[in-house]
Amino acid sequence: MTERITYHRVYEETGPREGRRVLVDRVWPRGMRKEDAHLDEWLRDIAPSTELRRWYGHDPDRFDEFRRRYLAELGDPGHAPAAERLREMAAHERLALLTATRDVDHSQAAVLAEWLARGGRA
């Protein structure tokens, strides 16, 4: 994670230096009203596929394999428009990648932050 790209739970308070707030989950966070999310964008198409998300199940023991598979997915044509959009945002402004996941260090937001820090390349 860099100073320009951060990640955390969407339920946390917003900070003055967050920059653009982008939700990177495929499904809307449970119990959160849209007006309370303070999002700039919901980029659901950057999220892992439903199949990968279900396989992973947020099991930290599967994180390395999840990371590998997710990075491969980011190169798929289905992810290309969302990946390009996220790279473009990261090139020009601070980003806060948001997820509803409790363990943010083992989430797609963490993988995306690392991916963007490397220039958005797998």
Other CB atoms within a 10 A radius of the CB of residue 76 amount to 10
Q: Number of helices (H) and strands (E) in the chain: give both, helices first.
A: 4, 4
- Residue 1 pLDDT exceeds 50: no
For the segment 3-16, the average pLDDT, to the nearest whole number, is 86
Portion of the chain with pLDDT greater than 70, in percent: 98
- Residue 2 pLDDT exceeds 70: no
Higher pLDDT, 102 or 3: 102
For the segment 35-44, the average pLDDT, to the nearest whole number, is 91
Instruction: Report, in this order, helix, strand and coil percent for the chain, each rounded to 5.
Output: 45, 15, 40
- For the chain, the average pLDDT equals 91
